[in-house]
Amino acid sequence: MEIIKKILEPEYDRKPIYRTEESGNDFSFACDECGKTILLDSKRQIDNSWNGKTDSLANRDFEFLKAYYKIGLNNKSADGGFPVFDRLTCSKCDSKYISYCGVQEFSNSAFMVTLNGLFKTESANLAKTVRNSVIDILNLLGDYEKQLDYGKTVGDYIAIQEMVCMWFDDNYHPDSENFIKGFSESELIKLKEFNDYYDSIFNKIPDQDIRTLHIDPNWEKLVRLAQQTGNELKTQHNNV
């Protein structure tokens, strides 16, 4: 197991991240590579406190982690609880992290969880990042409600401009290596068809008001195409 970057090291007197009966306080942190919020599920740590690890980790990893964090035969974590290791995966870029928690039962069936250690063990999968962000923009282009909400946030004019730029400038880079790796051949063809249609209409669409945009036949067709293309990407699994 490789430690690419240490994020949190054990320290005595660290406050618990979770206590039973004080709800809503699962610990989260921003992915070191893409900023996406990653959640540490406290209940998952509690449920696995007798095993010392969740099933996301192999025994070999477990042995490494116990040695690295100097968990002795008394099986105590730095906070005095039971040590539990978990692997957390960023849903956007596929970076991987290892968490080291301690779980203590402070009264009958009431637990507290302390995060003692956290490190990054695998860097982002750039092809997967590209794929996920293309799916995100297709979700927006295929969803009238999301477009209205986006317009409310930044104003309709900016929202319409951004929906164009996010496709052409930020996402559709069919010659880049990670783009090609991120999709199957048939997906690349679908994306090109979508791109070519969008390219043929983007300078003819109403650009001031989202409700006006929504009754434009060219845009209606684009929304349908975005839905179809997005659905195909979500149902096809390639080896990214």
Positions in the binding site for Zn ion (CB under 5 A): 31, 33-34, 36, 90, 92-93, 95
Sequence-ordered strand ranges (E) for 76-230: 82-89, 96-107, 110-122
Q: Which residues contact 87 (CB under 8 A, 6 or more apart)?
A: 54, 56, 57, 61, 96, 97, 98, 99, 121
Pick the closer one to Zn ion by CB: 36 or 181. 36
Question: Residue 144: exposed, middle, or buried by beta-carbon count in 10 A (0-12, 13-18, 19+)?
Answer: middle
Residue 119 CB, nearest distance to Zn ion (Å)? Answer: 15
Dihedral-angle region of residue 35 (phi above 0 means left; psi in -120 to 50 means alpha; beta otherwise): left
Pick the closer one to Zn ion by CB: 128 or 190. 128
Token code pair at residue 220: 């209606």
Residue 131 CB, nearest distance to Zn ion (Å)? Answer: 13
Residue 230 CB, nearest distance to Zn ion (Å)? Answer: 21
For residue 39, give the H/E element and its range. Answer: strand 37-40
Which of 144, 226, 220, 229 minimizes the C-alpha distance to 186? Answer: 229
Residue 90 CB, nearest distance to Zn ion (Å)? Answer: 3
Amino acid at 185: E
Pick the closer one to Zn ion by CB: 89 or 195. 89
Residue 235 CB, nearest distance to Zn ion (Å)? Answer: 23
Q: Rounded to whole angstroms, how far apart are CA atoms 128 and 34?
A: 12
Pick the closer one to Zn ion by CB: 5 or 221. 5
Pick the closer one to Zn ion by CB: 31 or 163. 31
Pick the closer one to Zn ion by CB: 35 or 174. 35
Tell me the H-state helices in 25-176.
Answer: 42-47, 59-68, 126-141, 144-154, 156-165
Residue 122 CB, nearest distance to Zn ion (Å)? Answer: 11
